[in-house]
């Protein structure tokens, strides 16, 4: 029925041969046990820094071979976690914020579809869950942090119950339940929680409460940076949202719709709810607890400026993002600032034996969604000092109209290593 030219057939055969060659090369690389660079973790930090490292060597005229960089991660899918906040606010479908991890790996990078089981920095090696030993010339640890659902009694069961009224934006499985619960609320009490301690994107619980109202937080204030905290508190009062500080959620009775909180003096108080949004406690991944590359609290201790391991014996180990000891808010924005610094210093260590002049300032940001089409952009650095990009234009402690460009920028630039924080598409040596 269709006439096909010899040229077209030749093109199809050629394309097929190239595809099979790339597939076979990728499969062969995945069975290697020695790599120049190993990146543990295929999350935001791992994907961004792997591509930036490859590009840095190439720009220096010292290109790495295909397969010299390996990303170790068993996850089938990669989630744009910031986007789950939008799902919880009814502003998007959760499928818009998920991609297959393998589809985000460049052809010159090897994906080892396993998780790290243990680290052996003395021998510059890691062992995977299957027992496979992989060696490296340099290691980047970017395995994120663990969400500790089970530390709150009854929470896991409540989240699994579709009629419990309990939800959380901190899971792909439950983020759409948040909006379903809010939208169906006609009367009663909506309770939103935030624990004391370290969590991913500390502004996320704030984003939820200002869209729809009692707020219980383990923290003494609304936000860690006073400038933004004062503005958020004023906004909370203006909208009639109740504020209960130094209250940590410890138990959920979904059958009777009762949330139990522990207060600063050690006593507990029970709160009735109709809808309960939970921000669970978080901490370091289990594989880091007691690991030779970790500190006593379970984080990877790195120099605050260079992101290189603080132990001189582990000078070829670097870390960024949630799993690191960096004393700054754990956000995607922080990673965009950290990745170029880590890249520059890792390249310099391999090339010259010492770190470069690139320094990380602790910059991070929390885009606080305060209403439909409105946000407050909190930007700060080490010491909780505001470090604003648009402060010359307007007061960033006030809500501004915005257009949501973050998801598009994330998939097109950030996970491909083409976004360098406030420097945009231009690599910089200080952030």
Question: Which residue numbers are catalytic?
Answer: 201, 366
Distance CA 418, CA 72 (A): 21
CA distances 195 to 79, 127, 202, 219, 426, Å, are 23, 34, 10, 7, 37
Burial 220-249 (b: 16+ CB within 10 A, else e): ebbbbbebbbebbbebbeeeebebebbbbb
Q: Which of 145, 139, 107 is nearest to 292 (CA)?
A: 139
Tokens 């340099």 appear where?
Answer: 138
What's the residue count for the chain?
431
CA distances 26 to 12, 21, 109, 135, 261, Å, are 21, 8, 8, 18, 51
Distance CA 70, CA 339 (A): 16
Other Cβ atoms within 10 Å of 330 Cβ, number: 20
Summary count for the chain: helices (H), strands (E) = 9, 23
Distance CA 17, CA 25 (A): 12
Backbone angles phi, psi at 23, to 5 degrees: -65, -45
Burial 168-195 (b: 16+ CB within 10 A, else e): bbbbbebbbbbbebbeeeeeebbbbbbb
């Amino acid at each position: 029925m269709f006439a096909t030219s010899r040229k077209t057939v030749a093109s199809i055969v050629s394309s097929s041969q190239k595809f099979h060659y790339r597939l076979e090369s990728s499969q062969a690389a995945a069975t290697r046990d020695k790599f120049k660079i190993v990146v543990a973790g295929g999350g935001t930090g791992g994907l961004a820094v792997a591509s930036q490292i490859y590009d840095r060597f190439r720009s220096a005229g010292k290109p790495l071979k295909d397969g010299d960089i390996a990303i170790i991660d068993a996850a089938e899918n990669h989630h744009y976690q910031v986007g789950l906040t939008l799902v919880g606010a009814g502003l998007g479908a959760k499928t818009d914020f998920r991609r297959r991890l393998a589809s985000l790996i460049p052809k010159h990078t090897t994906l080892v579809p396993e998780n790290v089981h243990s680290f052996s920095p003395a021998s510059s090696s890691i062992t995977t869950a299957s027992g496979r030993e992989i060696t490296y010339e340099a290691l980047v640890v970017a395995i994120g942090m663990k969400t500790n659902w089970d530390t709150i009694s009854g929470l896991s069961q409540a989240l699994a119950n579709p009629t419990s009224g309990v939800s959380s934006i901190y899971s792909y499985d439950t983020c759409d339940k948040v909006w379903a619960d809010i939208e169906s609320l006609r009367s009663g009490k909506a309770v939103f929680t935030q624990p004391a301690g370290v969590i991913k994107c500390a502004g996320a619980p704030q984003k939820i409460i200002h869209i729809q109202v009692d707020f219980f937080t383990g923290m003494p204030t609304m936000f860690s940076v006073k400038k933004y905290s004062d503005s958020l508190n004023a906004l909370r009062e203006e909208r009639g949202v109740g504020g209960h500080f130094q209250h940590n959620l410890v138990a959920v009775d979904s059958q009777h719709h009762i949330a139990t909180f522990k207060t600063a003096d050690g006593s507990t108080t029970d709160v009735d709810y109709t809808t309960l949004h939970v921000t669970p406690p978080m901490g370091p991944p289990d594989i880091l607890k007691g690991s030779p590359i970790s500190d006593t609290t379970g984080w990877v201790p790195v120099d605050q400026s260079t992101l290189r391991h603080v132990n001189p014996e582990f000078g070829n180990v670097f870390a960024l993002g949630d799993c690191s000891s960096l004393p700054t808010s754990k956000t995607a924005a922080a990673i965009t600032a950290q990745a170029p610094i880590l890249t520059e210093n890792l390249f310099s260590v391999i090339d010259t034996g010492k770190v470069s002049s690139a320094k990380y300032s602790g910059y991070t940001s929390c885009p606080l969604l305060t209403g439909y089409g409105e946000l407050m952009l909190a930007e700060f650095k080490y010491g909780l000092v505001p470090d604003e990009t648009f402060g010359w234009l307007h007061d960033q402690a006030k809500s501004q109209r915005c257009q949501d460009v973050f998801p598009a920028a994330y998939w097109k630039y950030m996970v491909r290593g083409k976004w360098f924080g406030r420097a945009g598409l231009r690599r910089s040596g200080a952030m």
